[in-house]
């Protein structure tokens, strides 16, 4: 076995061991962490007791979940949140000076089966509808309806997705094909 392969194997074992220790810790600290959910890599979470993550949701490395004293982050089931995504609940009132005088906390809600691409930013008070997709690098400033894809800065609807039933059927077929191939 080459040194590179040995190093890669050792790193994978350490990552697995870390997750086995880290996930129970998060389960105690977070408001809710559903079964099968995973938070990978170095994620930063402020006010973890105000973060609720549904079952089988995956949060990639380097994400920043910035809940606040009164702003919650609620993430549905079976979501895929890619690396370096930022979800933010605190903001300020633009009608008030000095800016730091009044802080505002707005809850962010993400529905079930949502895919958020790498480096996206979800701003305070936003609700992302179930089965929607947020493109990589998008800045979501307003609510996102169900079953659409948004992209850009600020994020705008760029595509209406196929009906949920058809997408779930496509998923079932892909899983069956994968099983047959292995």
Catalytic residue IDs: 92
Coil/strand/helix, residue 177: helix
Q: How far is the C-alpha of 31 from the C-alpha of 52, rounded, in Å?
A: 5
Q: How far is the C-alpha of 27 from the C-alpha of 142, rounded, in Å?
A: 30
**What beta strand segments (E) does the chain contain?**
32-33, 38-39, 44-46, 51-53, 58-59, 64-66, 73-75, 80-81, 86-88, 90-92, 103-105, 108-110, 115-116, 121-122, 127-128, 133-134, 139-140, 148-151, 156-160
Extract the tokens encoding 56: 């089988």
């Amino acid at each position: 076995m080459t040194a590179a392969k040995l190093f890669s194997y050792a790193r994978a074992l350490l990552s697995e061991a870390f997750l086995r220790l880290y996930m129970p810790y998060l389960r105690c600290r977070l408001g809710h962490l559903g079964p099968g959910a995973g938070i990978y890599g170095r994620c930063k979470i402020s006010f973890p007791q105000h973060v609720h993550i549904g079952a089988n949701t995956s949060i990639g490395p380097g994400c920043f979940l910035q809940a606040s004293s009164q702003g919650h982050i609620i993430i549905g089931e079976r979501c895929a949140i890619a690396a370096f995504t930022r979800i933010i609940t605190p903001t300020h009132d633009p009608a008030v000076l000095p800016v730091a005088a009044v802080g505002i906390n707005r809850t962010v809600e993400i529905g079930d089966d949502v895919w958020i691409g790498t480096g996206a930013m979800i701003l305070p008070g936003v609700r992302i509808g179930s089965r929607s997709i947020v493109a990589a690098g998008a800045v979501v400033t307003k609510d996102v309806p169900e079953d659409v894809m948004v992209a850009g800065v600020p994020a705008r609807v760029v595509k209406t997705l196929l009906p949920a039933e058809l997408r779930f059927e496509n998923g079932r077929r892909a899983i069956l094909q994968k099983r047959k191939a292995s």
